Amino acid sequence: ITGQRSLGSKVWDIDGNEYIDISMGFGVHLFGHSEPFIMSALEGQLQRGFQIGPLSQFSDKVALLISELTGMERVCFANSGTEAVMTAIRLARATTGRNLIVIFKDAYHGHFDGVLAVATKNQGQSGAAPMAPGVTQNAVNNVLVLAYDDPASLEVIQAHAHELAAVVVEPVPSRRPDVQPTEFLQQLRQLTQEIDAALIFDEVITGFRIHPGGAQAWFGVEADIATYGKIVGGGMPIGVIAGKAMYLDGIDGGSWNYGDESYPAAETTFFAGTFSRNPLAMAAAHAVLSEVKSAGLPLYQRLNQRTTELAQTVNAFFTAAEVPIQIVNFG
Ligand code: PLP
Protein backbone atom coordinates (compact mmCIF):
# COMPACT_ATOMS: atom_id res chain seq x y z
CA ILE A 1 0.00 0.00 0.00
CA THR A 2 1.45 3.35 -0.98
CA GLY A 3 0.17 5.85 1.56
CA GLN A 4 -0.98 9.27 0.52
CA ARG A 5 -2.44 10.76 3.71
CA SER A 6 -3.76 9.76 7.11
CA LEU A 7 -6.09 11.04 9.81
CA GLY A 8 -7.28 9.52 13.07
CA SER A 9 -7.75 5.79 12.53
CA LYS A 10 -7.64 6.02 8.71
CA VAL A 11 -5.02 5.86 5.98
CA TRP A 12 -5.67 6.65 2.30
CA ASP A 13 -3.55 5.28 -0.54
CA ILE A 14 -2.56 6.98 -3.79
CA ASP A 15 -5.58 5.46 -5.55
CA GLY A 16 -7.92 7.04 -3.01
CA ASN A 17 -8.75 3.77 -1.18
CA GLU A 18 -9.57 4.24 2.50
CA TYR A 19 -8.24 1.84 5.16
CA ILE A 20 -8.72 1.47 8.90
CA ASP A 21 -5.16 1.15 10.27
CA ILE A 22 -5.71 -1.51 12.90
CA SER A 23 -2.00 -1.63 13.79
CA MET A 24 -1.76 2.20 13.97
CA GLY A 25 1.60 2.50 12.26
CA PHE A 26 3.16 -0.69 13.70
CA GLY A 27 2.04 0.46 17.13
CA VAL A 28 3.39 4.01 16.89
CA HIS A 29 0.31 6.23 16.70
CA LEU A 30 -1.22 5.82 20.15
CA PHE A 31 -3.16 9.06 19.71
CA GLY A 32 -4.11 8.50 16.07
CA HIS A 33 -2.74 9.63 12.72
CA SER A 34 -2.04 13.35 12.25
CA GLU A 35 -2.99 14.06 15.86
CA PRO A 36 -3.25 17.88 16.11
CA PHE A 37 -1.10 18.31 19.25
CA ILE A 38 1.73 16.30 17.65
CA MET A 39 1.38 18.04 14.27
CA SER A 40 1.53 21.41 15.94
CA ALA A 41 4.70 20.50 17.90
CA LEU A 42 6.30 19.36 14.64
CA GLU A 43 5.17 22.47 12.75
CA GLY A 44 6.60 24.64 15.53
CA GLN A 45 9.97 22.88 15.25
CA LEU A 46 9.93 23.09 11.43
CA GLN A 47 9.61 26.87 11.75
CA ARG A 48 12.74 26.92 13.92
CA GLY A 49 14.74 24.49 11.75
CA PHE A 50 16.26 21.17 12.73
CA GLN A 51 19.76 21.74 14.06
CA ILE A 52 21.88 18.58 14.06
CA GLY A 53 24.68 18.76 16.62
CA PRO A 54 23.43 21.09 19.35
CA LEU A 55 21.13 19.60 21.97
CA SER A 56 17.46 20.09 21.24
CA GLN A 57 15.71 22.46 23.63
CA PHE A 58 13.37 19.54 24.40
CA SER A 59 15.85 16.74 25.04
CA ASP A 60 16.30 17.41 28.77
CA LYS A 61 12.53 17.81 29.19
CA VAL A 62 11.84 14.54 27.36
CA ALA A 63 14.47 12.75 29.46
CA LEU A 64 12.88 14.09 32.65
CA LEU A 65 9.39 13.02 31.52
CA ILE A 66 10.63 9.48 30.76
CA SER A 67 12.42 9.33 34.09
CA GLU A 68 9.32 10.53 35.92
CA LEU A 69 6.91 8.18 34.13
CA THR A 70 9.08 5.04 34.24
CA GLY A 71 11.07 5.60 37.45
CA MET A 72 14.38 5.18 35.60
CA GLU A 73 17.33 7.25 36.82
CA ARG A 74 18.95 8.17 33.51
CA VAL A 75 17.79 8.39 29.90
CA CYS A 76 19.61 8.34 26.58
CA PHE A 77 18.27 8.72 23.03
CA ALA A 78 18.86 6.77 19.82
CA ASN A 79 17.04 6.54 16.51
CA SER A 80 15.16 3.25 16.68
CA GLY A 81 14.15 0.43 18.97
CA THR A 82 16.87 -1.68 17.34
CA GLU A 83 19.55 0.84 18.32
CA ALA A 84 18.13 1.10 21.83
CA VAL A 85 18.32 -2.68 22.39
CA MET A 86 21.81 -2.86 20.86
CA THR A 87 23.02 -0.10 23.17
CA ALA A 88 21.33 -1.58 26.25
CA ILE A 89 23.13 -4.88 25.66
CA ARG A 90 26.46 -3.13 25.08
CA LEU A 91 26.03 -1.18 28.35
CA ALA A 92 25.21 -4.38 30.25
CA ARG A 93 28.28 -6.13 28.86
CA ALA A 94 30.51 -3.11 29.54
CA THR A 95 29.28 -2.67 33.11
CA THR A 96 29.36 -6.33 34.16
CA GLY A 97 32.51 -7.22 32.22
CA ARG A 98 30.70 -10.38 31.04
CA ASN A 99 29.67 -11.40 27.53
CA LEU A 100 26.76 -13.81 27.61
CA ILE A 101 23.16 -12.63 27.17
CA VAL A 102 19.91 -14.55 27.43
CA ILE A 103 16.99 -13.82 25.10
CA PHE A 104 13.75 -15.80 24.76
CA LYS A 105 11.97 -17.65 21.96
CA ASP A 106 9.05 -15.73 20.46
CA ALA A 107 10.54 -12.37 21.47
CA TYR A 108 11.43 -9.71 18.90
CA HIS A 109 14.18 -7.23 19.72
CA GLY A 110 14.76 -5.52 16.38
CA HIS A 111 17.23 -6.31 13.65
CA PHE A 112 20.80 -5.98 14.86
CA ASP A 113 22.90 -9.12 14.34
CA GLY A 114 23.51 -9.74 18.05
CA VAL A 115 19.88 -10.72 18.69
CA LEU A 116 19.07 -12.46 15.40
CA ALA A 117 19.48 -15.89 16.94
CA VAL A 118 17.49 -19.11 17.17
CA ALA A 119 17.76 -21.68 19.93
CA THR A 120 19.97 -24.74 19.53
CA LYS A 121 20.60 -27.74 21.76
CA ASN A 122 23.91 -29.56 21.53
CA GLN A 123 24.43 -32.56 23.85
CA GLY A 124 21.90 -31.04 26.26
CA GLN A 125 23.59 -27.60 26.19
CA SER A 126 21.50 -24.55 25.14
CA GLY A 127 23.03 -22.31 22.51
CA ALA A 128 22.21 -20.13 19.54
CA ALA A 129 22.56 -20.18 15.76
CA PRO A 130 22.07 -17.37 13.23
CA MET A 131 18.40 -16.73 12.42
CA ALA A 132 19.03 -15.61 8.83
CA PRO A 133 21.66 -15.74 6.07
CA GLY A 134 24.29 -13.04 6.54
CA VAL A 135 24.26 -13.20 10.33
CA THR A 136 27.48 -14.89 11.41
CA GLN A 137 27.80 -17.54 14.10
CA ASN A 138 30.27 -15.20 15.81
CA ALA A 139 27.57 -12.56 16.17
CA VAL A 140 25.41 -14.92 18.26
CA ASN A 141 28.07 -16.97 20.04
CA ASN A 142 27.43 -15.10 23.27
CA VAL A 143 23.68 -15.57 23.17
CA LEU A 144 21.43 -18.19 24.77
CA VAL A 145 17.88 -18.47 23.45
CA LEU A 146 15.64 -20.00 26.11
CA ALA A 147 11.96 -20.88 26.49
CA TYR A 148 9.89 -18.04 27.93
CA ASP A 149 7.80 -18.47 31.07
CA ASP A 150 9.46 -21.82 31.74
CA PRO A 151 11.04 -22.64 35.14
CA ALA A 152 13.68 -24.76 33.33
CA SER A 153 15.08 -21.54 31.83
CA LEU A 154 15.76 -20.20 35.34
CA GLU A 155 17.95 -23.23 35.97
CA VAL A 156 19.92 -22.61 32.76
CA ILE A 157 20.39 -18.97 33.77
CA GLN A 158 21.61 -20.05 37.21
CA ALA A 159 24.06 -22.48 35.63
CA HIS A 160 25.58 -19.63 33.57
CA ALA A 161 25.50 -17.11 36.44
CA HIS A 162 29.25 -16.37 36.39
CA GLU A 163 29.31 -15.38 32.70
CA LEU A 164 25.93 -13.72 32.26
CA ALA A 165 25.82 -9.98 31.45
CA ALA A 166 22.09 -9.63 30.90
CA VAL A 167 18.71 -11.23 30.52
CA VAL A 168 16.76 -9.42 27.82
CA VAL A 169 13.03 -9.84 27.98
CA GLU A 170 10.06 -8.65 25.96
CA PRO A 171 7.73 -8.74 28.99
CA VAL A 172 4.73 -9.66 26.84
CA PRO A 173 5.92 -10.97 23.48
CA SER A 174 4.13 -9.14 20.67
CA ARG A 175 3.93 -12.49 18.89
CA ARG A 176 2.24 -14.03 21.98
CA PRO A 177 0.16 -11.35 23.71
CA ASP A 178 -1.61 -14.05 25.75
CA VAL A 179 1.68 -14.78 27.58
CA GLN A 180 1.65 -12.35 30.52
CA PRO A 181 3.92 -14.08 33.06
CA THR A 182 3.96 -11.98 36.25
CA GLU A 183 5.51 -14.73 38.36
CA PHE A 184 8.24 -15.58 35.83
CA LEU A 185 9.19 -11.90 35.53
CA GLN A 186 9.41 -11.61 39.31
CA GLN A 187 11.58 -14.74 39.46
CA LEU A 188 13.83 -13.34 36.72
CA ARG A 189 14.16 -10.14 38.72
CA GLN A 190 15.21 -11.96 41.84
CA LEU A 191 17.60 -14.31 40.06
CA THR A 192 19.35 -11.59 38.01
CA GLN A 193 19.77 -9.56 41.19
CA GLU A 194 21.37 -12.52 42.94
CA ILE A 195 23.84 -13.19 40.12
CA ASP A 196 24.60 -9.50 39.35
CA ALA A 197 23.34 -9.66 35.78
CA ALA A 198 21.29 -6.84 34.22
CA LEU A 199 17.59 -7.35 33.69
CA ILE A 200 16.70 -5.53 30.48
CA PHE A 201 13.03 -4.91 29.71
CA ASP A 202 12.51 -4.33 26.00
CA GLU A 203 9.49 -2.04 26.20
CA VAL A 204 9.58 -0.82 22.61
CA ILE A 205 5.97 -2.03 22.29
CA THR A 206 4.68 -2.14 25.88
CA GLY A 207 6.19 1.22 26.87
CA PHE A 208 3.59 3.99 27.28
CA ARG A 209 0.98 1.58 25.90
CA ILE A 210 -0.28 -0.65 28.71
CA HIS A 211 0.29 1.88 31.52
CA PRO A 212 2.11 5.25 31.74
CA GLY A 213 4.94 3.34 33.48
CA GLY A 214 4.89 0.50 30.92
CA ALA A 215 5.29 -3.19 31.72
CA GLN A 216 7.49 -2.38 34.72
CA ALA A 217 4.56 -0.62 36.40
CA TRP A 218 2.00 -3.15 35.14
CA PHE A 219 3.86 -6.19 36.51
CA GLY A 220 5.43 -4.43 39.49
CA VAL A 221 8.94 -5.43 38.38
CA GLU A 222 11.82 -2.94 38.29
CA ALA A 223 14.29 -3.58 35.49
CA ASP A 224 17.89 -2.35 35.43
CA ILE A 225 17.60 -1.03 31.88
CA ALA A 226 14.49 -0.51 29.75
CA THR A 227 14.31 0.27 26.06
CA TYR A 228 11.53 2.29 24.45
CA GLY A 229 10.67 3.57 20.97
CA LYS A 230 7.60 3.63 18.74
CA ILE A 231 4.92 5.65 20.64
CA VAL A 232 7.49 7.99 22.19
CA GLY A 233 8.42 9.64 18.89
CA GLY A 234 4.84 10.34 17.79
CA GLY A 235 5.77 9.00 14.32
CA MET A 236 9.33 10.36 14.22
CA PRO A 237 12.16 7.78 14.44
CA ILE A 238 13.29 7.34 18.04
CA GLY A 239 14.84 4.87 20.48
CA VAL A 240 15.27 5.33 24.21
CA ILE A 241 17.65 3.60 26.62
CA ALA A 242 16.66 4.28 30.22
CA GLY A 243 17.99 2.73 33.38
CA LYS A 244 20.01 2.76 36.52
CA ALA A 245 22.96 5.15 36.61
CA MET A 246 25.41 2.28 37.15
CA TYR A 247 24.61 1.12 33.59
CA LEU A 248 23.74 4.39 31.83
CA ASP A 249 26.85 6.14 33.15
CA GLY A 250 28.67 3.99 30.58
CA ILE A 251 27.39 6.48 27.98
CA ASP A 252 28.83 9.71 29.38
CA GLY A 253 30.85 8.89 32.49
CA GLY A 254 28.11 9.93 34.91
CA SER A 255 27.05 13.22 36.44
CA TRP A 256 29.45 15.92 37.57
CA ASN A 257 29.35 19.61 38.48
CA TYR A 258 31.06 22.71 37.25
CA GLY A 259 33.24 24.44 39.77
CA ASP A 260 34.24 21.52 41.98
CA GLU A 261 36.54 18.54 41.62
CA SER A 262 33.89 16.15 40.33
CA TYR A 263 34.25 14.75 36.82
CA PRO A 264 32.58 12.03 34.72
CA ALA A 265 34.45 9.22 36.44
CA ALA A 266 32.64 6.09 35.22
CA GLU A 267 34.28 4.02 32.49
CA THR A 268 32.49 4.60 29.19
CA THR A 269 31.76 2.43 26.18
CA PHE A 270 31.15 3.58 22.60
CA PHE A 271 27.93 5.38 21.76
CA ALA A 272 27.09 7.61 18.82
CA GLY A 273 24.48 8.56 16.21
CA THR A 274 24.33 11.54 13.84
CA PHE A 275 20.58 11.81 14.23
CA SER A 276 20.24 10.89 17.92
CA ARG A 277 18.17 13.57 19.71
CA ASN A 278 16.94 14.87 16.37
CA PRO A 279 15.02 18.12 17.07
CA LEU A 280 11.88 16.93 15.24
CA ALA A 281 11.84 13.65 17.17
CA MET A 282 12.45 15.49 20.45
CA ALA A 283 9.67 18.03 19.76
CA ALA A 284 7.20 15.24 18.95
CA ALA A 285 8.34 13.16 21.96
CA HIS A 286 7.86 16.15 24.23
CA ALA A 287 4.29 16.58 22.96
CA VAL A 288 3.50 12.85 23.30
CA LEU A 289 4.93 12.38 26.78
CA SER A 290 3.41 15.62 28.10
CA GLU A 291 0.04 14.25 26.97
CA VAL A 292 0.77 10.82 28.51
CA LYS A 293 1.61 12.56 31.79
CA SER A 294 -1.41 14.84 31.88
CA ALA A 295 -3.93 12.20 30.67
CA GLY A 296 -2.42 9.70 33.13
CA LEU A 297 -3.77 6.32 34.17
CA PRO A 298 -7.43 6.94 33.13
CA LEU A 299 -6.35 7.16 29.48
CA TYR A 300 -4.84 3.67 29.71
CA GLN A 301 -7.70 2.20 31.72
CA ARG A 302 -10.18 3.42 29.08
CA LEU A 303 -8.02 2.23 26.20
CA ASN A 304 -7.41 -1.21 27.74
CA GLN A 305 -11.10 -1.63 28.48
CA ARG A 306 -12.14 -0.65 24.95
CA THR A 307 -9.56 -3.00 23.44
CA THR A 308 -10.83 -5.90 25.56
CA GLU A 309 -14.38 -5.08 24.45
CA LEU A 310 -13.25 -5.08 20.82
CA ALA A 311 -11.56 -8.46 21.28
CA GLN A 312 -14.68 -9.89 22.94
CA THR A 313 -16.94 -8.54 20.18
CA VAL A 314 -14.75 -9.97 17.44
CA ASN A 315 -14.45 -13.31 19.24
CA ALA A 316 -18.25 -13.47 19.72
CA PHE A 317 -18.59 -12.94 15.99
CA PHE A 318 -16.05 -15.67 15.22
CA THR A 319 -17.94 -18.07 17.47
CA ALA A 320 -21.33 -17.22 15.97
CA ALA A 321 -19.98 -17.51 12.44
CA GLU A 322 -18.21 -20.78 13.33
CA VAL A 323 -14.85 -19.35 12.32
CA PRO A 324 -12.13 -21.34 14.17
CA ILE A 325 -10.17 -18.26 15.27
CA GLN A 326 -9.96 -16.45 18.61
CA ILE A 327 -7.92 -13.31 19.11
CA VAL A 328 -6.00 -12.58 22.31
CA ASN A 329 -4.98 -9.22 23.66
CA PHE A 330 -2.79 -7.48 26.22
CA GLY A 331 -4.26 -4.04 26.77
N1 PLP B 1 11.92 -4.35 20.34
C2 PLP B 1 10.61 -4.68 20.21
C3 PLP B 1 9.90 -5.35 21.35
C4 PLP B 1 9.94 -4.36 19.02
O5 PLP B 1 8.65 -4.69 18.88
C6 PLP B 1 10.64 -3.70 17.99
C7 PLP B 1 9.96 -3.37 16.71
O8 PLP B 1 8.88 -3.78 16.42
C9 PLP B 1 12.00 -3.41 18.18
C10 PLP B 1 12.60 -3.75 19.37
C11 PLP B 1 12.79 -2.72 17.11
O12 PLP B 1 12.36 -1.38 16.99
P13 PLP B 1 12.61 -0.60 15.61
O14 PLP B 1 11.73 -1.23 14.60
O15 PLP B 1 12.22 0.82 15.95
O16 PLP B 1 14.06 -0.72 15.30
82 lines ligand 1 (CB under 6 A): yes
Burial tier of 148 (Cβ tally within 10 Å: 0-12, 13-18, 19+): buried
Q: Where are the alpha helices (DSSP H) in 211-278?
A: 214-219, 245-252
Band (pLDDT 50/70/90 cuts) for residue 72 is: very high
Res. 34: pLDDT tops 90: yes
Q: What is the best residue among 230, 232, 241 to mutate for testing ligand 1's pocket, by most ligand atoms within 8 Å of CB?
A: 230
Among 64, 42, 70, CA closest to 235:
42
209 lines ligand 1 (CB under 6 A): no
Among 78, 119, 88, CA closest to 202:
88
Q: Across residues 30-58, what is the average pLDDT?
A: 97
**Known catalytic residues?**
108, 202, 230
Q: Across residues 289-297, what is the average pLDDT?
A: 98
Tell me the pLDDT of the chain averaged across its residues. Answer: 97
The pLDDT assigned to 122 comes to 85
155-207 pLDDT per residue, tens: 999 999 999 999 999 999 999 999 999 999 999 999 999 999 999 999 999 99
Q: Across residues 94-107, what is the average pLDDT?
A: 97
What percent of the residues of the chain are helix, what percent strand, and what percent coil, each to the nearest 5? 40, 20, 40
**pTM exceeding 0.95:** yes
Do the beta carbons of residue 208 and residue 259 sit within 8 Å? no
The pLDDT assigned to 280 comes to 98
28 lines ligand 1 (CB under 6 A): no
Atom of ligand 1 nearest to the CA of 170: 3
Do the beta carbons of residue 240 and residue 66 sit within 8 Å? yes
174 lines ligand 1 (CB under 6 A): yes
